[in-house]
Structure 1
Amino acid sequence: MPILKTAAVAALASLSLGLAARAAPDPGKPTIVLVHGAFADASSWNGVVAKLAKDGYPVVALANPLRSVKGDAAYVGAALAAIAGPVVLVGHSYGGAVISAAAVGQPNVKALVYVAAFEPAPGETSLGLSGKFPGSTLGEALAPPVTLPGGGVDLYIQQEKFGPQFAADVPADQTAVMAATQRPIAQGALVEPQVGAAWRTIPSWSIYGDADRNIPAAAMAFMSDRAKAKRAVVIKGASHVVMVSHPGEVATLIEEAAR
């Protein structure tokens, strides 16, 4: 059965999902592993998780540390190694860089899904890719960096700019909560050269909005084309958090990849 080998971890994941009506996981279906990006957390996948679980998929939404591509990929890789059976690995935003590295050498990862996500080639950086085409306004929306005691800085989006910048198609009351609970990313992670590009050998799918203000749609089209995506879905008017505003479409594409 494609579930986490560690029963305690599986139980904790199930509790955190908080799903009242959840179908029993189908042993014939792969486990879906979801990796969030910067300025978000695992709850950003809630709508997607609900549909996947209803359709019988085992799901794990990991807490991405957002510290460094190499370190975050090692964390995700350890989780993948603890899963029995095939996996569909899904990344949002910076999480795309993480899954691209984490899936290298993981034989149970059968498909990759990029949700408004980076798909870097070795040597590329998330910051470099977001600036490859015009349209990103993230720099203007960032709060003053927070200096960390051990060196380096953390980045946040200004709360008053979070909605328009990050989640323009999400209700204001919901974006206010997202802004207050956003998780910062270490600035160094965005300028860290990529090592490993699993999309070169593992089939991939992509979905993103044409109104994304973090990563220009042209950049995501370039990356999905380069990866020879099995299918690329563009949601008209969708923001950077397309999995929050359009969970059904995102879950449908993940299920296509799972088949």
Structure 2
Amino acid sequence: MSFVSPTVVLVHGAFADAASWLGVIDELQRAGVPVVAVANPLRGLAADAAYVTSRIAQIGGPVVLVGHSYGGAVITVAGTARNVVGLVYVAACAPEEGESLGALQDRFAPPALADHLESWTYPAGGGAAATEVSVAPEAFGEVVAADVSPSVARVLAATQRPLAASVFTEVPGAAAWRTKPSWVLVAGADRAVNPEVVRFAAERAGARTVELDGASHAVAVSRPAAVAELIREAVGAVT
């Protein structure tokens, strides 16, 4: 009997890009795991999930979807694709069908991030303007990447990609974790997403959960080996 190793598809979250997975990609490639990091548009939950789904559909064979932060909401919807065989949430949100990110996060105390967001506008078509948010650069290191070197944190702050504010009220039309096996990594010192939100969602999903004490929200940057280890566990379980 032959087995097809799933392709790992990495979906970054808000205030980041696909390069945030560099260390994780290196770990997975050295272990012989096929991996692709997609560019999450960050323009709206339905639109972002549709984009990721389109990428998944063009990958031959099974897929393990991995989402960081807001990317967790994206894989929750996109994970309903037929060839997705597992979900990995890294310091990520996993909403229920019909539950907005705002509603999920409001179950618990707001994280420090809430006090350090900046708002911007961008053209949304038809002459209309929409709102996006980013993290104040001077607070980025403390709030998002406290366990990353200051020089790297400054680069991450300067290269961050804003998130459309509409994602906090948009309601997901599906929850893939209800029918797909899931794994969750909790960053114990996360100040961007309250760890209680991640723990709650993990328990609700019946996920296999790993917690890293002292890890910041930028855990994929600061602890890529630990993140890759959990992903490899998921790949092994579904292969």
Q: What TM-score do the two structures reach when normalised by structure 2? A: 0.94
Please point out which of 185, 191, 199 is paired with 1:207: 185
Could you list the per-position Cα deviations for residues 129-152 of structure 1 after superposition, in whole angstroms to 9, with x for gaps in the alignment?
A: 223212511121112x11223321
Q: Which amino acid aligns with 1:168?
A: A
What is residue 144 of structure 2 aligned with on the other side?
166
Q: Does 1:176 find its partner at 2:139?
A: no
Identity of aligned residues (%): 50
Q: Does 1:244 find its partner at 2:221?
A: yes
CA distance in structure 2 between the partners assigned to 1:80 and 1:243 by the alignment:
22
Q: Is the contact between residue 111 and residue 194 of structure 2 (CA under 8 Å) also seen in structure 1?
A: yes
Q: SS at the partner of 2:217?
A: coil
What is residue 95 of structure 1 aligned with on the other side?
71
Root-mean-square deviation (CA, aligned residues, Å) is: 1.1
CA distance in structure 2 between the partners assigned to 1:124 and 1:168 by the alignment:
30
Q: SS at the partner of 1:84?
A: coil
What is residue 173 of structure 2 aligned with on the other side?
195
Matches within 5 A, 1:24-43: 28-43=4-19
Q: Which amino acid aligns with 1:73?
A: A
Q: Is the contact between residue 4 and residue 61 of structure 2 (CA under 8 Å) also seen in structure 1?
A: no
CA distance in structure 2 between the partners assigned to 1:184 and 1:171 by the alignment:
22
Q: Does 1:146 find its partner at 2:124?
A: no
Q: SS at the partner of 1:132?
A: coil
Structure with the bigger percentage of strand: 2
Q: Could you list the runs of 5+ residues in structure 2 that have no partner in the other structure? A: none
Q: Which amino acid aligns with 2:112?
A: T
CA distance in structure 2 between the partners assigned to 1:129 and 1:163 by the alignment:
25
What is residue 127 of structure 1 aligned with on the other side?
102
What is residue 113 of structure 1 aligned with on the other side?
88
CA distance in structure 2 between the partners assigned to 1:200 and 1:28 by the alignment:
24
Range with greater deviation from structure 2 (158-167 or 124-133): 124-133
Q: Does 1:82 find its partner at 2:58?
A: yes
CA distance in structure 2 between the partners assigned to 1:216 and 1:193 by the alignment:
20
Aligned length: 230
Q: Return the structure number with greater relative CO, CA threshold 8 A, min gap 6.
A: 2
What is residue 198 of structure 2 aligned with on the other side?
220
Q: Could you list the runs of 5+ residues in structure 1 that have no partner in the other structure? A: 1-26
Shift of 1:74: 0.4
CA distance in structure 2 between the partners assigned to 1:28 and 1:109 by the alignment:
13
What is residue 232 of structure 1 aligned with on the other side?
209
What is residue 255 of structure 1 aligned with on the other side?
232
Q: Is the contact between residue 137 and residue 165 of structure 1 (CA under 8 Å) also seen in structure 2?
A: yes
